[in-house]
Structure 1
């Protein structure tokens, strides 16, 4: 239970969020590398959707680098905590806005592409070709040892391809939750630091005021004890009164 309580502090949650951000950054940078250099990834995408390919490649790379910068800011918050946390929260908000804008543009552009682009017609014809190709592969007797594996691969692609969309949706939702949590935690920690600095500043002001007022009290007491300020003959009269009192007592 003690370990669990230690893990649920705001600082630890903020650290875990940024570990997840680092993992997302690595995945985005790897995807950007594949979009740039892996022919199995970019050839068909670039051929069918050239504009969407260029924007996606640039955005995925920029988002990965942005997440790396956010993780660095989270680490730098240990030194200049309040300033870095405010910048971090602003960076998370900018990333979320850019994701919404990118997603909206992609959906709108792909809908337009599917309706109007000639490459979309090629994609539809390619899907029809797959459906016609499978019976042809089964009908080939001479190359059955080659045709059967090709048929199985086409079947697997058709069966497993929708899982990619499910994975993208799940990780997108998880990323959205992480960004909301990161923004909330950064703002919370920044407010806590600002409150602590305010209390420290107030304590310092009180200490300075007390220290500045202390010499005045000492100076007043010194002024009261200064023999130069006593009236003439006052000390002799005081001594006579004291002797008179002592004579009456003894």
Structure 2
């Protein structure tokens, strides 16, 4: 019995802690922490697309239009997410404009989602057309065939065996691990889309709560005990001095 009664408060405390963690405000904070991480990743990717030759040279050579659009969009999306995080922080610290900031935040998330759909659709259509008819696509296909021919040729250079073998292993690893990039992009996009939906829903919930709290009638303020200006202006009741003296004499008579 003692063990059961001892476990009950612990279980209740855990449930209370879980309820405090899983509130809309806490979930909203967690979503914006994830948004900040996504913003940093997008800005780092934009920097690589602009300044890292190992990233942009082949992309720019094969798909010039897609490269320019992607570089601009990734930078804009990273800055947009950073602005949303700032707006969420402003909504948390400005109680007067709390509801307006949350409505603006929800609109910003919706605009970001629409832009992502448009960018993804354009990239899919343009890359499909590029693969069918662009001369660079034919070069890409021939380059993939060339990689298969280079590997046996590398092994023929017995004079440079200490250099050829590591190069061969690098090419093998690149071919083996290349599909993981597509997997990472898909997971990154799915998680980002889920976070955006959750952010929009939580922002709307918090904005509705803030609006209801602002419209709710406020109770009248309690009179300040230190403020006795009204009491000082009121006239004293009749015979108050006589009654006070009588009570004082009665108390003194009982004491002495």
Give the paired residue count.
204
Residue from 44, 51, 55 that aligns with 1:37: 51
Structure 2: 5+ residue stretches without partners: 1-13, 222-256
Which one has the bigger helix percentage?
A: 1
Q: In the alignment, what sits opposite 2:33? A: 19
- TM (norm. structure 1) is 0.80
Q: In the alignment, what sits opposite 2:250? A: none
Q: Confirm whether residue 188 of structure 1 aligns to residue 202 of structure 2.
A: no
Q: Confirm whether residue 62 of structure 1 aligns to residue 79 of structure 2.
A: no
Q: CA deviation at 1:144?
A: 1.2
Structure 1's consecutive aligned runs of 4 or more residues displaced over 3 angstroms after TM superposition are: none
After superposition, residues 95-134 of structure 1 pair within 5 angstroms as 95-134=112-151
Q: In the alignment, what sits opposite 1:247? A: none
In 1, the alpha carbon distance for the partners of 2:157 and 2:142 equals 22
Structure 1: 5+ residue stretches without partners: 209-250
CA-to-aligned-CA distance 1:170-201 (integer Å, 9 cap, x gap): 1100000000000000000000011111113x
Residue from 165, 186, 206 that aligns with 1:148: 165
Residue from 59, 67, 91 that aligns with 1:77: 91
After superposition, residues 218-237 of structure 1 pair within 5 angstroms as none
Bigger-Rg structure (1/2): 1
After superposition, residues 48-59 of structure 1 pair within 5 angstroms as 48-59=62-73
In 1, the alpha carbon distance for the partners of 2:20 and 2:169 equals 52
Alignment RMSD: 1.2
Residue from 182, 194, 215 that aligns with 1:177: 194
CA-to-aligned-CA distance 1:44-73 (integer Å, 9 cap, x gap): 000000000000000000000000000000
In 2, the alpha carbon distance for the partners of 1:15 and 1:98 equals 24
Q: CA deviation at 1:6?
A: 1.3
In 2, the alpha carbon distance for the partners of 1:45 and 1:3 equals 50
In 1, the alpha carbon distance for the partners of 2:20 and 2:157 equals 66
Q: Confirm whether residue 3 of structure 1 aligns to residue 17 of structure 2.
A: yes
Q: CA deviation at 1:143?
A: 1.2
- TM (norm. structure 2) is 0.78
Q: CA deviation at 1:37?
A: 0.3
